[in-house]
Amino acid sequence: MNPFILALKARNLTVEIHHHSAYQIVLSNDLPFTSIISGIKHEEIHGFVIKPQVTHHCIAEKGTLNILNIEPYSNIGLELSNRFKEDKDYIIFNSPSETHTFFKTEKENLDLKKIIDALIAELPSTNYDERVTKIVDYIKNNYNQSDITPKTFADIVFLSPSRLAALFKQQTGSSLSKYLLWTRLRQAIYLTLSDKNRSLTDIAYDTGFYDLPQLNKYMYEMFGMPPKALKHNSDLIQIY
């Protein structure tokens, strides 16, 4: 799974007007829905893709939605940006066939994993430097430690922080700090949606944030809502 994609399937998802730093793809899994994007109401649509910082909200009290958030400065985010016309901030899908045409997927069903695979397939193949993969493995196993610094990473692979930062960005399109943040946010969102009885403060600590206000800050910046709103305004079906 590409680390710069947060993908989930939810029902009863109705959120207030918001904007955020990630690219977002929202696709109906069954019934059409209504969305307001940049002040324009779109009814009975089957999905959309929006650029970062575009105001929007969805009304989907029935049916289920597939939601993908993508880091804009990752390789996959940069590839997605090339699909927009120069003067457009969003793309609307008025039918399932338009969705499949855009993502180059089979028309039999709307499988979220196949859509993710189709997005990744558009990226040029990369032979990752072993030092990059070593850092990725370290983050996977230690993201919950709140004292990780650039020097922590540099010491692992015997590079200066600046050399390692340049190498990581060259191979992924984004920064080490963003990679670590996305890893923490992915896990925090999974815990928020899968265990409704768990304290958000505990989730923040358990995923490497200093406290709940810091988790709130980064979730709002990246996805447009704090964990509390996500927890009480949707029912998680699956997180990828």
Domain 130-227: which topology? Arc Repressor Mutant, subunit A (1.10.10)
Instruction: Provide the token pair at 52.
Output: 């970062």
Q: Looking at residue 162, what is its pLDDT?
A: 95
Three state DSSP letters for the chain: CCCCEEEEEEEEEECCCECCCCEEEEEECCCCEEEEECCEEEEEECEEEECCCCCEEEEEEEEEEEEEEECCCCHHHHHHHCCCCCCCCEEEECCHHHHHHHHCCCCCCCCHHHHHHHHHHCCCCCCCCHHHHHHHHHHHHHCCCCCCCHHHHHHHHCCCHHHHHHHHHHHHCCCHHHHHHHHHHHHHHHHHHHCCCCCHHHHHHHCCCCCHHHHHHHHHHHHCCCHHHHHHCCEEEEEC
> What per-residue confidence (pLDDT) applies to 109?
65
Helix 130-142, helix 161-172: angle, nearest 10: 100
Measure the CA angle with vertex 201, ends 147 and 180; round to 5°.
Answer: 35
Q: Note the pLDDT of residue 217.
A: 94
Q: CA-CA distance, 154 to 176, in Å (whole number)?
A: 11
| Chain Cα centroid distance, residue 71 | 6
| Amino acid 215: pLDDT | 96
Q: Which two tokens stand for residue 88?
A: 């457009």
Smallest Cα–Cα separation from 6: which of 19, 32, 25? 25
Give 5-121's CATH code, choosing from 2.60.120, 3.40.50, 1.10.3710, 2.60.40.
2.60.120
- The CA distance from 53 to 181, in Å, is 19
- The pLDDT value given to residue 240: 67
What is the C-alpha separation between 153 and 159, in angstroms, rounded? 9
* Start-end of CATH 1.10.10.60 domains in the chain: 130-227
Contact 35, 45 (CB under 8 A): yes
Pair 68, 24: CB distance under 8 Å: yes
Q: What's the token pair of residue 191?
A: 């815990």
Identify the segments of the chain with pLDDT beneath 70. Answer: 1-2, 12-15, 108-109, 233-238, 240
Residues of the chain with CATH 2.60.120: 5-121
Q: What is the pTM of this model?
A: 0.88
